[in-house]
């Protein structure tokens, strides 16, 4: 990666903060993720063990 490509927003879009909340359905635990800025109206429900992986999707790992 060159310094020029690191700044290209088409290759590296700006990261946004997400909100998350744990939920439980029966014995299963999930995390609900949503965009508090409202850019995306959708919510994403992930199994709890996926959340530990997804939190590393920060553009640095």
pLDDT at 43: 96
**Whether the Cβ atoms of residue 24 and residue 10 lie closer than 8 Å to each other:** no
This prediction has a pTM of 0.67
Predicted confidence (pLDDT) per residue in 2-61, tens digit = 555 556 777 777 778 889 999 999 999 999 999 999 988 999 999 999 988 888 887 776
Rounded Cα gap, residues 45 and 9, in angstroms: 27
b/e 19-40 (16+ beta carbons within 10 angstroms → b): eeeeeeeeeeebbebbeeeeee
> Domain map of the chain by residue range?
3-54
Of 46, 18, 50, residue with least CA distance to 34? 18
């Amino acid at each position: 990666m060159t310094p020029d490509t690191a700044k290209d927003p088409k290759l590296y879009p700006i990261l946004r903060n997400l909100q998350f909340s744990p939920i439980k359905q029966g014995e299963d635990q999930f995390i609900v993720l949503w965009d508090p800025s409202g850019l995306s109206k959708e919510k994403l429900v992930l199994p709890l063990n996926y959340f530990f992986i997804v939190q590393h999707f920060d553009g640095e790992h």
